[in-house]
Amino acid sequence: MSHPQSGIIPDHAKSGIFIEADFQASALDNIKKACAASLDELSKLQQQFPEADVALTIGFGDKAWRLFNHPEEGTDLKPFRPLGNGLAPATQHDLLIHIQSMRHDVSFALALNLLALFGDDIQVLNETHGFRWIEERGIEGFVDGTENPTGENIQKVGVIANDKVDAGGTYILIQKYLHDLKKWNKVNLQQQEACVGRSKQDNIEFDKAVRLPDSHLGRVNLKENGKTLEIVRRSLPFGTASGEHGLLFCAYCHCLHNIETQLLSMFGETDGKTDLLLTHLSKAISGAYYFAPSIERLKAL
């Protein structure tokens, strides 16, 4: 039986660190060792600070994953491509380190320890520290994560099933969104709610009959053959009050298809309609897909 890496599990973490890096093929043996050793560092901190619920996922971009030569595993994986005439840029990297916990100090300790393990074999290109904001709202003011799968459904939706050769693996999208709050705050409450497809204060979902087709929910609440396309979101707000801020979007899924179909729909690549959140609130400044193998595979890359 294969087990998923722990980073997908916690659903109300207070802190998240997202690190994206590149590495050379010549460093492959060191990368393998650092991945296995990362799990030991994680266990140490889990034992030292049990209340922090610290969790970790290590994932690989398409080019990097192919180097490990497990061609039957992670077969959905491909590089992220730009979408919507550049509205969603592609910034694919080789390695993702995703840390979640209830304590930012513990997340930070794990990040430091892992970067020491990987050392000069990786070049870090992005590091974003996310925080859980008031009432689990995004900094645009809407509650985020309400319709996320919970309990057993987290693994059902997020993790490749046990009858598959890459059981315990998962696909991940990392996309950084910068919010323009000055612009958003000029949009009145009713229009903001129409953009999202939910009410702001009490977080009630609008009936499908009144929801705008280009509202966020209109774009991402999709059905195929009568079944909703589900994903597990582990996004967090990030940034500074005076400078750049927004949402570090992070989604896990047992297949890339569900994530990609929602993205194509948001960025005008299905019916030409673009998500109203992109018009009035936010712009994507990064985009990358990763495959995170099971714990067992990570230990034996």
List residues with catalytic annotation: 144
Q: Indicate whether 68 belongs to the interface with ligand HEM (CB under 6 A).
A: no
Q: Indicate whether 217 belongs to the interface with ligand HEM (CB under 6 A).
A: yes
- Let me know if 180 is exposed, middle or buried by CB neighbors in 10 A (0-12, 13-18, 19+): middle
Phi and psi torsions of 30, nearest 5°: -65, -35
Q: Which is nearer to ligand HEM, 58 or 247 (CB)?
A: 247
> Interacting stretch for ligand HEM, rule CB under 6 A, among 7-15, 47-55, 123-131, 260-268?
260-268
What letter would DSSP give residue 243? Answer: S
Q: Which is nearer to ligand HEM, 94 or 144 (CB)?
A: 144
> Interacting stretch for ligand HEM, rule CB under 6 A, among 115-123, 134-142, 161-169, 236-244?
134-142
The two tokens of residue 266 are: 């948001």
Q: Indicate whether 9 belongs to the interface with ligand HEM (CB under 6 A).
A: no
Phi and psi torsions of 23, nearest 5°: -150, 160
Q: How far is the CB of 38 from ligand HEM (least distance, A)?
A: 27
User: Distance between CA 181 and CA 135 in Å, rounded?
Assistant: 18
Phi and psi torsions of 52, nearest 5°: -80, -20
User: Distance between CA 215 and CA 220 in Å, rounded?
Assistant: 9
Q: Indicate whether 263 belongs to the interface with ligand HEM (CB under 6 A).
A: yes
User: Distance between CA 295 and CA 301 in Å, rounded?
Assistant: 10
Q: At what angle do helices 104-118 and 28-48 cross, to 10 degrees?
A: 150
Question: How do strand 55-60 and strand 95-101 relate by DSSP bridges?
Answer: antiparallel
Among 46, 107, 282, 294, binds ligand HEM (CB under 6 A): 282
Q: Which is nearer to ligand HEM, 132 or 198 (CB)?
A: 198
Q: Which is nearer to ligand HEM, 38 or 286 (CB)?
A: 286
Q: How far is the CB of 177 from ligand HEM (least distance, A)?
A: 4
Among 104, 176, 216, 234, binds ligand HEM (CB under 6 A): 216
Q: How far is the CB of 225 from ligand HEM (least distance, A)?
A: 17
Give the count of beta carbons closer than 10 Å to the beta carbon of residue 127. 13
Q: Exposure string (b/e) for 60-76, b if CB count within 10 Å is 16 or more?
A: bbbebbebbebeebbeb
User: Distance between CA 273 and CA 215 in Å, rounded?
Assistant: 10
> Interacting stretch for ligand HEM, rule CB under 6 A, among 16-24, 68-76, 145-153, 186-194?
145-153
The number of angstroms, rounded, from the C-alpha of 205 to the middle of its chain's C-alpha atoms is 23
Q: Indicate whether 247 belongs to the interface with ligand HEM (CB under 6 A).
A: yes
Instruction: For residue 96, give the amino acid letter.
Output: L
The two tokens of residue 179 are: 């919010």
> Interacting stretch for ligand HEM, rule CB under 6 A, among 1-9, 27-35, 127-135, 143-151?
143-151
What letter would DSSP give residue 227? Answer: E
Q: Which is nearer to ligand HEM, 20 or 144 (CB)?
A: 144
> Interacting stretch for ligand HEM, rule CB under 6 A, among 79-87, 94-102, 157-165, 212-220?
212-220
Among 82, 89, 145, 149, binds ligand HEM (CB under 6 A): 145
Alpha helices in 130-184 (DSSP H): 152-158, 181-184
Q: Indicate whether 157 belongs to the interface with ligand HEM (CB under 6 A).
A: no
- List contacts with ligand HEM (CB under 6 A): 138, 140, 142-147, 175, 177, 196, 198, 216-217, 220-221, 231, 247, 249, 251, 259, 262-263, 266, 277, 282
